[in-house]
Structure 1
Amino acid sequence: MGSKDEGAASSGGGGFFSSFAAGMRSWGTAVHKSVNGLLGYEGLEVINPDGGTEDAEAEALKGRWKQEDRDSYWKMMHKYIGSDVTSLVTLPVIIFEPMTMLQKMAELMEYCELLDKADECEDPYMRMVYASTWAVSVYFAYQRTWKPFNPILGETYEMVNHQGITFIAEQVSHHPPMGAAHCENAHFTYDITSKLKTKFLGNSVEVYPVGRTRVTLKKSGVMLELVPPLTKVNNLIFGRTWVDSPGEMVMTNLTTGDKVVLYFQPCGWFGAGRYEVDGYVYSAAEEPKIMITGKWNKSMSCQPCDQEGDPLPGTELKEIWRVAPTPPNDKYQYTHFAHKINSFDTAPKKLLASDSRLRPDRYALEKGDMSKSGSEKSRLEEQQRAEKRTREAKGEQFTPRWFNMTDDISPTPWGDLEVYEYNGKYTEHRAVIDSSSVADDTDVTSIEFNPWQYGSSSSQ
């Protein structure tokens, strides 16, 4: 087990073993020493998760980049060290995966049966175990080292045919990049406003999940709010790219005051601590009730505990979740669910023309045509700039179709967030289509990608 105090420390009470947790945090930081001047590149940091820092030079020569590409890209990027590069630079498709950020948002639904169990659970603390484990489950998918495409303003992603859910996401802002999503089935509703914020560190980038995630369980009516840890992508240019998400994940029951605090251990020398997650379910009175432990790349378990956080006598660890088998030797390290997300089998009838699946750059990359993917990506980005000029000339603002901007400003550990809320129109739109008796024989792959609100081809 890891530290026992994270929840209490986070909730302002000082915690049970706060000095131990602080020691763990400083230990995790200490092992990630910079390797400056490596191979003549000032400010370069190379971290081998399977070793120490002494083998950084050998590690730097590995990875997916050719030497000449690596050198030229470093020359272009090193001037941005310390900057938010979310929309600052145009990136080559060699580092992309054939999926957009909107689709990546939907990956959180792979193990949504855990939310179904949370809704059906009568024990309020076990309810929090299931819900927080659902939040952990996506990190196995998030360890992929490829970058998803940034959505075009007005782009959408729809998904059905999975655990009875209906999922809709929309890109609601371009600068800053923001997406909103709503998902629902018989057991829960899920709503998120997500704004990416990054800090480029040279050979790595920190990704801050500036967002508000809320889940409402329908049977009990409780509302849960999630604050995830940041993610660091290491060895972007030099070395083998890998992902870590050190820090605290907090899930709060806004209805009762109960809370889960999980500590994601940072990766230490020779991989020590990597993937490990430990924490507790706390009552509203800040008493530990259930300890949760496991690895986000394998499984999570729980066990009732006493007020000191120690396992109750006569109880055993109970496995709550385990990673599903994955396709062997997959080029992009996709799960079966990730492939399902890209498939038209999960698309509803009369798919919106703004759907991510239809993007020509994404589709070309999926088919292995990197040259076409790059040219289509450039074309879409120029079309987006042209539409912005049209909108500004008309003196008009972009208006999302499925979400409304609210007056709420939500504080997050990484800055304030303008909150968008689902407006219900997609539910109405889908109900009309699903109730129609007219057969839809359209070949969805023939639909032209069209997220634009202006332009002669705008026909959504």
Structure 2
Amino acid sequence: MASNNDPKQGSGFFASFASTISSFGTAMTKSVNGLIGYEGLQVINPDGGTEDAEDEAQKGRWRQEDRDSYWKMMQNYIGSDVTSMVTLPVLIFEPMTMLQKVAELMEYSYLLELADECDDPHMRLVYAASWFISVYPAIQRTWKPFNPILGETYEFVNHGGITFIAEQVSHHPPMSAAHAENEHFVYDITSKLKTKFLGNSVDIYPVGRTRLTLKKSGVVLDLVPPLSKANNIIFGRTWVDSPGDMILTNLTTGEKVVLYFQPCGWFGAGRYEVDGYVYDAEEEPKFLMTGKCNEFMSYQPCDSEGEPTPGTELKEAWRAADLPKNDKFQYTHFAHKLNSFDTAPKPLLPSDSRLRPDRLALEHNDLSKAGAEKARLEDRQRAEKRTRESKKDEFKPKWFELTDEKATTPWGELEVYRYNGKYEQYRAGVESSDKSSQEFDPWQYHEDSQT
């Protein structure tokens, strides 16, 4: 299996490509350096195309004056984790929060039904791995979701019998926890996003601990995903790459899946391509898997050398649903459901992401109001932190609790939060009602009680 190598940074290599290959009708990648006066920035069109570098540099969501002033500020953060250091303008946001983004994994939950009911332990991993791959069309979206406010929640029902609850359990560092369950599976995740700003790109490290339990067999699966890279975040057309290995391990029996995400090469070569194997506990390959993480995954039995077994054929395990046409945020139909109150239980928790005024304003294309509301929420969050510190109080999540467990990831250690079961108790104790709160309220202290 190929290893993951970070692409080279810096402008020297790319600056040497300054001409267009007209005979192929595509443009070589060029550096912005020398065209608009900024050093060390690369503008790459991963899909090829015929635009020259200057045209490509003008694409994206930024107005020229916004881009220039933002770049001057961001130069100070090169090499840093900017997860919660920088206030970002709403023009690069989508009307969704990170908690809702976690819930996007639930779209193709039928794959977990197939995995749970499958008696073949290796086919079980084919379906489970395909389920984890199925979230990558959402990851490829280039709009940024809102960072959740401390204490913010997101609830989700009415899809595959799933009950989903997520909560922002820490602000510094930003951490989320989520729990999902139906008759076939239990899914738990603690996520601590870590980033590294590289000038015109950001490396995004998925520091997290994921557990998926299939109820029929009782097996517990652990996921280690590859990092993601958001490219051309200030200059050029933004695009996302996720190069490296995804490893899914059956902690109960020792079987595993190793899938390699090909890095995007020249003119988009290899972009989205995923290949790998399902291995038994003795590390012998049993199935090969191949596909594109934004479209489909297929599988085929293989021999001990990894070659397709004679007489077998490549079969499709998963295919992404068709997308809405001309959707501003490149949402899937399912992503639109996540913002809908039709997928929310009643009464809705007042801390739910759907009720955020900045998110609602952006959904209605009111950027001015969205920006003002975002700033107001962030100011309120800082004020609540000061109140908590003055009272010598510690924030305690409602639906998750901090454990003594530490998870080791390729990008550092992680504190683990565990679902406490109180959400089901709460839901069992409230009557279903058409009347839900319409005011966003994740606060531990209300304004009249702050000091």
TM above 0.5? yes
Q: Which moved more, 1:72-81 or 1:402-411?
A: 72-81
Question: Which aligned pairs between 1:20-169 and structure 2 lie closer than 5 A?
Answer: 21=2, 33=13, 35=31, 37-38=33-34, 39-51=36-48, 55-169=52-166
Contact 1:98 1:362 in 2 (8 A): yes
User: 1 CA distance for matches of 2:262 and 2:9?
Assistant: 13
Question: Which secondary structure state, in structure 1, belongs to the residue aligned with residue 384 of structure 2?
Answer: helix
Contact 1:409 1:419 in 2 (8 A): yes
Post-superposition Cα deviations, 1:371-390, rounded to whole Å, max 9, x if no partner, equal: 11000001000110111011
Contact 1:28 1:268 in 2 (8 A): no
2:231 is matched with 234
Give the Å deviation of 1:112: 1.1
1:396 is matched with 393
1:440 partner letter? S
Contact 1:31 1:269 in 2 (8 A): no
TM-score, normalised via structure 1 length: 0.91
1:41 partner letter? Y
Question: Which secondary structure state, in structure 2, belongs to the residue aligned with residue 205 of structure 1?
Answer: strand
Give the Å deviation of 1:55: 4.4
Give the Å deviation of 1:259: 0.4
Post-superposition Cα deviations, 1:83-102, rounded to whole Å, max 9, x if no partner, equal: 10000110000000000000
Contact 2:150 2:169 in 1 (8 A): yes
User: 2 CA distance for matches of 1:50 and 1:345?
Assistant: 37
Question: Which aligned pairs between 1:368-383 and structure 2 lie closer than 5 A?
Answer: 368-383=365-380
From 242, 260, 264, the equivalent of 1:263 is 260
Contact 1:361 1:374 in 2 (8 A): yes
User: 1 CA distance for matches of 2:86 and 2:224?
Assistant: 28
From 438, 444, 451, the equivalent of 2:442 is 451
Give the Å deviation of 1:297: 1.3
Post-superposition Cα deviations, 1:351-408, rounded to whole Å, max 9, x if no partner, equal: 1000000000000000111111000001000110111011000001000000000001
Q: Closer, same or farther in 2 for the Cα pair 1:36/1:370, shift >3 Å?
A: closer
Give the Å deviation of 1:53: 12
User: 2 CA distance for matches of 1:374 and 1:30?
Assistant: 32
Q: Closer, same or farther in 2 for the Cα pair 1:251/1:140, shift >3 Å?
A: same
1:380 partner letter? L
2:279 is matched with 282
Contact 1:47 1:53 in 2 (8 A): no
2:57 partner letter? A
Question: Which secondary structure state, in structure 2, belongs to the residue aligned with residue 337 of structure 1?
Answer: helix
2:25 is matched with none
Query: RMSD between aligned alpha carbons?
Result: 1.9
User: 2 CA distance for matches of 1:301 and 1:102?
Assistant: 29
Regions of 4+ moved over 2 Å:
25-39, 50-58
2:334 is matched with 337
User: 2 CA distance for matches of 1:155 and 1:145?
Assistant: 23
1:15 is matched with none
User: 2 CA distance for matches of 1:36 and 1:64?
Assistant: 17
User: 2 CA distance for matches of 1:420 and 1:108?
Assistant: 19
1:14 is matched with none
User: 2 CA distance for matches of 1:393 and 1:29?
Assistant: 47
1:3 is matched with none
Give the Å deviation of 1:432: 2.0
Post-superposition Cα deviations, 1:103-145, rounded to whole Å, max 9, x if no partner, equal: 0010011111111110000000000000000000000111111
User: 2 CA distance for matches of 1:396 and 1:178?
Assistant: 19
2:433 is matched with 440
Q: Give structure 1 stretches of 5+ with no counterpart.
A: 1-5, 7-20
Q: Percent identity?
A: 73
Contact 1:171 1:180 in 2 (8 A): yes
TM-score, normalised via structure 2 length: 0.92
1:405 is matched with 402
Contact 1:31 1:268 in 2 (8 A): no
User: 2 CA distance for matches of 1:288 and 1:426?
Assistant: 41
User: 1 CA distance for matches of 2:438 and 2:391?
Assistant: 28
Q: Which moved more, 1:368-377 or 1:66-75?
A: 66-75
1:314 aligns with 2:314: no
Question: Which secondary structure state, in structure 2, belongs to the residue aligned with residue 297 of structure 1?
Answer: coil
Contact 1:46 1:239 in 2 (8 A): yes
Contact 1:159 1:346 in 2 (8 A): yes
Contact 1:288 1:309 in 2 (8 A): yes
Give the Å deviation of 1:50: 2.2
Question: Which secondary structure state, in structure 1, belongs to the residue aligned with residue 42 of structure 2?
Answer: coil
Give the Å deviation of 1:59: 1.7
From 251, 260, 270, the equivalent of 1:254 is 251
From 294, 298, 302, the equivalent of 2:295 is 298
Give the Å deviation of 1:54: 10
From 358, 363, 366, the equivalent of 1:361 is 358
2:168 partner letter? Q
User: 1 CA distance for matches of 2:217 and 2:7?
Assistant: 39
- How many residue pairs are counted as aligned between the two chains? 431
Give the Å deviation of 1:256: 0.2
User: 1 CA distance for matches of 2:10 and 2:368?
Assistant: 40
Question: Which secondary structure state, in structure 2, belongs to the residue aligned with residue 59 of structure 1?
Answer: helix
Question: Which secondary structure state, in structure 2, belongs to the residue aligned with residue 453 of structure 1?
Answer: coil
User: 1 CA distance for matches of 2:9 and 2:291?
Assistant: 23
Contact 2:185 2:213 in 1 (8 A): yes
1:181 is matched with 178
From 178, 197, 213, the equivalent of 2:210 is 213
Contact 2:10 2:41 in 1 (8 A): no
Contact 1:28 1:267 in 2 (8 A): no
Question: Which secondary structure state, in structure 1, belongs to the residue aligned with residue 126 of structure 2?
Answer: helix
